[in-house]
Amino acid sequence: MSSASTPLQSSAVINEAVQTLRDGGLVAFPTETVYGLGADAKNPEAIQKIFTTKGRPADHPLIVHIAAANQFDVPQIDWIPLLAPWARDIPEDALKLINTFWPGPLTLVFKKEKSVLNALTGGQDTVAIRAPAHPIAQALLRKFKGAVVAPSANRFGKVSPTSAADVRNEFEGILDLMILDGGDCEVGIESTIIDFSSGDKAILLRPGVITPKEILFKTGVHVYLPGQLHLQNNESDEGADVPRVSGSLKAHYAPTTPLILYAPGRALDALSEFPDIKSRVAVAVWDSESSLVLEDHPSIDVSEIIVSSDPASFASKLYRTLRDLDQQGWDLILFPEPPTGEEWDGVRDRLQRACFGSGPSSKSHESN
Ligand code: TXA
Ligand code: MG
């Protein structure tokens, strides 16, 4: 973490946040991925507030956030007692991932303990858990001495917030929300989610900056893509209409300005497919490429925005860039298709969903 530039909240503010959680209120807080909208994981009314505030359907489960008691002893943390109140049947392979990547941007799904609230798991018999790395998230969790459920702190279907100001904009006029300010999120897209609930196999549910390749390299654990197990899975169609991962809906993370992707070197072609758009278009261009010289286009006012060709830096700025562009009143936003390769899977996934759901009508959100 870039702790030097992180405006750490005073302990008085953290105490106030803890009290708010204990009183059944909501607190928005920074994690290294995106900002979360937190509530006491043991309080059903507080959990209900999250769903109402976000406009999130009740069958979309939440992630339980936990922290180890001692921040100075990371390699020696025994996570098992911390997981015990929430999860059961934790495979050896899951512990290898936990010991390697926690605290960090990795969420694991397990069979749930009986006492875990149904409201939290969307009625499923599994539970998602993660230990965030951000120092403010950890300070909050430690002082609270309990677990906090936290979806991304945005209204359902919208771009996740990566700064305190984003959260404020998201809920302005809707809710007087306590927001802990931890600066800009470093990772920038949501955690990788891996499912260990269906036996000994690890299955990727949501790509993120921690990739199956990195997991294999660092732990020896093979992570399967959902499609790879499909043929072996007899119950594949059962409950197929229940979204296990809300981010898996086609139209998620969507800006209100229409957004499309262009193939390498094909920005002009993409523009010509939209002949009715005659005004302002923002085109994102790789920093590794020379200018597209789009000024040639007679009827369109085009501006270039430079984006990083390094996947981690790109991810870190993706939602920031989408939010900023969305507020600048463009008629269309063009982004380059991310290259193939696992390290781009997380941002490709978010960009494709953002395209699908983009545009002012939000038609696709309502159908979710
Ligand atoms: O990086 C993150 O994970 C952020 C920060 C705030 O921690 N949180 C986040 O939460 O992205 P949310 O609610 O926006 O997305 C959580 C995802 C949802 O897509 C949800 O469906 C999935 O986790 N999830 C939660 N419980 C699950 C379960 N039992 N089985 C499968 N997926 C689950
Ligand atoms: Mg979300």
Domains and their CATH numbers in the chain: 2-232 (3.90.870.10), 259-367 (3.40.50)
pLDDT of residue 235: 43
Low-confidence ranges of the chain (pLDDT < 50): 1-6, 231-243, 362-368
Ligand nearest to the CA of 31: 1
pLDDT of residue 199: 80
Give dist(CA 58, CA 109) in Å, integer.
Answer: 18
pTM above 0.85, yes or no: yes
Q: Spell out which residues line ligand 1, taking CB within 6 angstroms.
A: 31, 33-34, 36, 60-63, 107, 109, 121, 124, 126-128, 130, 132, 150-152, 190-191, 193, 205, 244-247
Residue nearest to atom 29 of ligand 1 (CA): 127
Pocket test for ligand 1, best of 35, 66, 160, 193 (most atoms within 8 A of CB): 193
Closest alpha carbon to 143 in 28, 231, 11: 11
pLDDT of residue 240: 38
pLDDT of residue 146: 94
Among left, alpha and beta (phi > 0; psi -120 to 50; other), residue 341 is left
pLDDT of residue 214: 98
Residue nearest to atom 31 of ligand 1 (CA): 244
pLDDT of residue 249: 60
**Tokens representing 53?**
């505030």
**Tokens representing 55?**
């406009």
